[in-house]
Structures are given as C-alpha cells and as structure tokens.
Amino acid sequence: MLVPVDLTSVKDVLAQIWTAATSPVPSPAQPVVLAAGLVALAVVLVGPVWRTARHVITIAHEGAHALVATLTGRRLDAIRLHSDTSGLTISAGRPRGFGMVATTFAGYVGPGLVGLGAAWLLRAGYAVGLLWLLVALLALLLLKIRNLFGLWSVLVAGVGLVGVSWFLDEPAQAAVAYAVTWFLLLGSVRPVLELQAQRRRRAARQSDADQLARLTGLPGLFWVLVFLAVTVGALALGATWILGPVPLSA
C-alpha cells in the first residue's frame, strides 16, 4: 500500500533547512573556538580515538578522489570504505594523463582542502550552512558507495550531522561546526605522516604517492612532501581564518 506524502510538509521542512543554512549566525566566543580545536587535536593524537575518527578523514579522502574524477571527465564507478580505515575509489577513463594524475593526487589533500573551505564558511558566519552542506555532500557520496561498511559509515556521519543541524540550538551547532572544521584541518596531516612511515617499511607500494610516481616519473617522496605542504598550508591558513578577527562585512 502506498503511503501518501504531504508535499506541503516536505516543502516547509526544506524551506526551514534553506533558511537556516543561508542565515549567518554569530561566531562562538573565542574560548569555545579554542576548546573545539583542542578537542579535535586530542582526537587526532590519541591513538584509540583516532582509529575510529579516522573514518571521517577516509570519507573526505575518497570523496575528493570521486569529485576530481568527475570534474576531469572520468566515469565514477564505485567508492568503497573499509573497516581498517582504508578506502578505494574506482573510476574509468584514460590510465594516464591529467585526469588520472589529478584524481590520484586529490585524496590526501582532500580533507585539508575541505577543512579550509569549511573555515572560510565559518569566517563568513555560515556555521549551520556548513553542517547542511556536509549533509548534502554525504548524501551524494551515498549514491556511489558499493559496500555495506561504506554505507554504514556515511549514514552514521550523515545522521549525526542531521541530528546536530535539526535539534540543537545555534550556539551548539556553531560549536560542532568549529570542531568538525578543526578536525578536518588537523586530521588531514596525520595520514600523510602515516603514509610515509608505511612507505619506509615498504608496506604501501600501491599508495597514492607511489601511483603518482609511476604516472609522472617523479619520486613518491616528492608527492608525500607535496601532500604535507598542502595539508599543513591548509591548516595554517584555516587556523588564521578561524582565530583571526571577523571581517566587518561578515
């Protein structure tokens, strides 16, 4: 039996979400912003917590591969997220050339660049809009997830963000948005360091850096250093935007 859908109610909900997402909200007090950063830093540094939270970075990593593959004209076939925090994005197209290089490069720098974009939105006052934007991006990602653990990971992240965006008040939403942004910025650096540690043990011969080495002729270490420069640069600039004075126009 088909259950009738009240289109008016759906439109009202969407209108409410749009209004919340496009309305600037006051930035939290500086102690709240700093506390959010310290919490994110602790998550990144404490091993057992990091092993769970790292799934968020993997989602951003594989999402970046998928986005760049699509933008460069490759056909995106599947995204898989695994319980060991690894992931795989499968796209079809030329095995070499700019599209393949850009797609491979995007993964490790993706979380930091997403964090940098989030910091820009926070600086403009759109903390709630950032949360809803992340929900929308996760919903798009779901369309290409092809394994159960990946579906579970993205759904848990999405439901969590929806809960924060719908049920909490604006100050709490802003605090969560700052914590998520700090985590993306800080959490983007550690996987690059872990990658090089694995490469020294010869345990990551199929890593993005080594694939880029085969595609470009430049050594894998060069690409690790580029990943590190981009992620640390995004962290530095994002922190400046988050902690600096808010522009008068914001």
102 lies in some domain: yes
4 lies in some domain: no
Count of the separate structural domains present in the chain: 1
16 lies in some domain: no
84 lies in some domain: yes
> pTM for this structure?
0.93
Could you list the residue range(s) of the whole structural domain that residue 39 is in? 27-243
CA distance 20 to 165: 9
31 lies in some domain: yes
CA distance 64 to 113: 9
Residue type, 101: V
Closest CA to 175 of 49, 35, 38: 35
22 lies in some domain: no
Token pair recorded at residue 34: 């700093």
136 lies in some domain: yes
Tokens 């992340």 label which residue? 134
95 lies in some domain: yes
Task: Find the helix or strand (DSSP H, E) in which 87 lies.
Answer: strand 87-92
Supply the pLDDT for residue 202: 85
Supply the pLDDT for residue 250: 44
Could you tell me the mean pLDDT of each successive run of 10 residues in the chain, 250 residues long?
A: 61 86 92 97 96 97 97 96 95 93 98 98 96 97 96 97 95 97 98 95 87 96 98 98 70
Q: DSSP H helical segments within the chain, as ranges?
A: 7-22, 30-45, 47-71, 98-123, 127-142, 148-167, 170-187, 189-200, 208-216, 220-243
